[in-house]
Chain A
Amino acid sequence: MTSLPTERSAKKLGLVIDLDVCVGCHACVVSCKEWNTGGYGAALSDQDPYGPNVSGTFLNRIHSFEVVPEGGEVIGEAGEARIVHFPKSCLHCDDAPCVTVCPTGASYKRGEDGIVLVDEDKCIGCGLCAWACPYGAREMDLAAGVMKKCTLCVDRIYNETLQEVDRVPSCVRTCPANARHYGDLADPSSAVSIMVAERGGIDLMPEQGTRPVNKYLPPRPRKPLAASAGALLAENTTGASGFFAWLDGMLDRI
């Protein structure tokens, strides 16, 4: 049913993504594609896979942004600007607009754990849900003609044929930096909820009114590299003393 569930359990499964830790390696992108192309629903197709115009369906993508503080400098490594790698997959929104626009009932949000899924046998591939999602979390598979999106690896997290350590989303299991965490965000005592509380986890585009379940942990404050650089790295040497004053003099002479 396309309406949002009226009976909801106390559970809200989702991801917490740590923007301080992500190194932008794209390992989760690859593992997500690998797991999900053989898992839930149609395979994730590629178009022109070995040609110059290769493109394909992915459920998870990494953008990289540069953030420049007010009055900050961009120049090289000594500036205040910083790069933030930004993984993005479905946020399993509580007020998911992608669900209510769907004309066929293919898109739905589960009452029992809040996961947003597409029933591909019902999907007509109209694309309206991808228009309704402000985050770009849905991609139409051009070979199958149905909408694909992150399933929160629903075929892993409840899968008792897997070892217990593997009963987490593929992206979470793969991340070499431990930037992705999975858990119940409605339970205040869960590891993910504690992380969100301690680090000030945030919603993406709260103004869109989607009430995402997934949370992002903002990068920790950082001082510019120049502030912690030793005397040798400084731009001029006035005030150098001791060994550095001697070295400065020697280097000037030769």
Chain B
Amino acid sequence: MHPAFSIIVFTTLSGLGYGLAAVLGLGILDPAAMATKLAHLAALVLIGVGLLSSTLHLGNPQRAWRALSQWRSSWLSREGVMALLTFLPLLWSAWFAVVEGRHAPVAGLLGAAGAAVTIYCTGMIYASLKSVQTWHTPLTPLCFILFALSGGLTLASLAGAAGGGDALWPALGAIAATIAAWIAKTAWRRRMLSLRPLSTPETATGLGSIGKVRLFERPHMNENYLTREMGFVIARKHAAKLARISFLAGGALPVLLLLVAAALSAVPVTAAVVIACAALLHYAGMFVERWLFFAEARHAVMNYYEG
């Protein structure tokens, strides 16, 4: 599948924003600290920029409101509805933190729950597509949720350390979430690499009863919408390398840095700098991970194109 920049930015930024918002909603940071107030605003900005970016790939964004109507059947619609609903408790929490300097437990918990459900819906948009076998597994939303949590906890420990408070617990939480996320992701990738294709050129054409089917002539000489959108192919060796890069940047290095920060938690300023590096690496890792999520996925229609 074509790795569209706007969708990668959307899923990574909103994931990070919802993860941070959920952690803030649990109230583990000092609500009076300036860094916590900034974290609340950062979460809203990340979510907002992510959602705006998601409208960039629409053919008719002016009617995007219509996407709120089909929540009964469509995961994309559910995601839109949940994203809007979740804004209410998130704004409420942010108001309490920024203006009044205190934690709003009810709004916080509602916001955390809404964030989790929204990310689950994002994951299910992909997991519900039988035509893309790589995505069609409950591990897909699980990875989305765990990566969001690991990014959110990393940013929360940054806010904790920068606020001069105790970053030890959020940092340990971030380490645990990052490890859990990569366990899930490794299972996801193993599954992908061992998949037997559900559909083949033989089942796609129904000609398997005669023999082996090979494309003789394409229906069109140049690219078309289908081959541009679904015909993206990436060399296996590059994919393996990129997968290692995403694991290093999005998993191994941030965990090491967070361990260093946890050991340094008595010196919050140094810890904050170390965690900031971890957060930047984490985002870079997530970007590569999400790029591969699309680039490596093979769509059933490619059975008609030998791709």
Contacts and interface: CB of A to CB of B under 8 A. Distances in A.
Contacts of A207: 198-199, 203
B165 to A, nearest CB: 41
A69 B213 CA distance: 9
B74 A103 contact: yes
A207 B305 CA distance: 19
Given A69-B211, A123-B59, A63 B218 contact: yes
B64 interface: yes
Interface in A58-109: 58, 61-70, 72, 81-84, 86, 88, 97, 100-106
A139 interface: yes
B131 A133 contact: yes
Given A86-B205, A104-B63, A104-B69, A2 B229 contact: no
A251 to B, nearest CB: 36
Contacts of A205: 199, 203-204, 300, 303
A104 B67 contact: yes
B225 A103 contact: no
A224 interface: no
Given A54-B222, A103-B80, A145 B59 contact: yes
B67 A101 contact: no
Contacts of A43: none
A161 interface: no
B214 interface: yes
Main secondary structure of the interface of A (DSSP, over half): loop
B273 to A, nearest CB: 41
Nearest to A139: B225
B235 interface: no
A125 B61 CA distance: 8
A202 interface: yes
Interface in A122-157: 122-128, 130-136, 139-142, 144-146
A103 B77 CA distance: 4
B242 interface: no
Contact of A101 (B75, B207, B230): B75
B129 A145 contact: no
B191 interface: no
B223 A208 contact: no
Nearest to B54: A126
Nearest to A209: B130
Contact of B217 (A63, A69, A72, A206): A63
Interface string B34-62: 00000000000000000000000111110
Nearest to A202: B206
B295 to A, nearest CB: 15
Nearest to A200: B209
B304 interface: yes
B74 A55 contact: no
Contacts of B218: 63
Contacts of B212: 67-70
Given A66-B214, A101-B128, A103-B76, A218 B203 contact: no
Interface residues of B, number: 59
Contact of B58 (A69, A101, A145): A145
Contact of A65 (B61, B73, B77, B213): B213
A238 interface: no
Interface string B181-220: 0000000000000000011010111110111111111111
Given A139-B226, A140-B225, A205-B203, A63 B59 contact: no
A36 interface: no
Interface in B224-271: 224-226, 229-230
Nearest to B202: A67
Interface in A14-32: 19, 24, 29
A104 B69 CA distance: 6
Contact of A61 (B69, B219, B229): B219
Interface string A143-187: 011100000000000000000000000000000000000000000
A204 interface: yes
A55 B227 CA distance: 11
Nearest to B201: A65
B70 A208 contact: no
Contacts of A54: 222
A131 B157 CA distance: 38
A189 interface: no
Contacts of A139: 224-226
Closest 9 CB pairs of A and B: A125-B59, A145-B59, A136-B301, A103-B77, A61-B219, A69-B211, A134-B300, A103-B67, A2-B70
Interface of A: 1-3, 19, 24, 29, 53-58, 61-70, 72, 81-84, 86, 88, 97, 100-106, 122-128, 130-136, 139-142, 144-146, 202-209, 216, 218-219
Interface of B: 1, 57-61, 63-64, 66-70, 72-77, 80, 125, 128-132, 198-199, 201, 203-207, 209-220, 222-226, 229-230, 299-301, 303-305
Given A65-B215, A132-B131, A206-B203, 7 more contacts: A84-B207, A134-B130, A135-B204, A140-B59, A142-B225, A205-B204, A218-B209
